[in-house]
Amino acid sequence: MPIKGKRKDNPGKEDRVNPPHKTRLPVTDHPQPPSPVIPPVIPSDTDFDTRILDTGTFNAAMNVLSRAFDPILQTKAAEISNRLSYHLHGLLTILEDFYKINLFSSY
């Protein structure tokens, strides 16, 4: 029986009974995510007793909403859109011809 602690094939090296323990790196504290920025509260935004109302913005918003839900205006917008796409298609066709004969090349 061989002597404990010595290897048979290489008597100069010692046996490793247990593999060396892996050293663990200490877990560092991860940086905390920044706290959410809460916008400051402006009293005029929440104080309904002051009755402050930007009438220009309100009227503009109401005009947009009324147009968005008005079927007559939606029909007119569709007609205008169709006309514009027709003209744009024609313009692109003309420009394509110019491109083919290389009129846009610099001399």
Q: What is the pLDDT at residue 1?
A: 53
pLDDT in tens, 40-94: 666 555 445 555 556 677 677 777 777 666 777 667 777 877 788 888 888 777 7
pLDDT in tens, 56-70: 776 777 777 776 667
* Greater model confidence, 85 or 99: 85
Dist. CA 41–CA 36, nearest whole Å: 15
Give pTM, 2 decimals: 0.25
Beta bridge partners, 6, equal 14
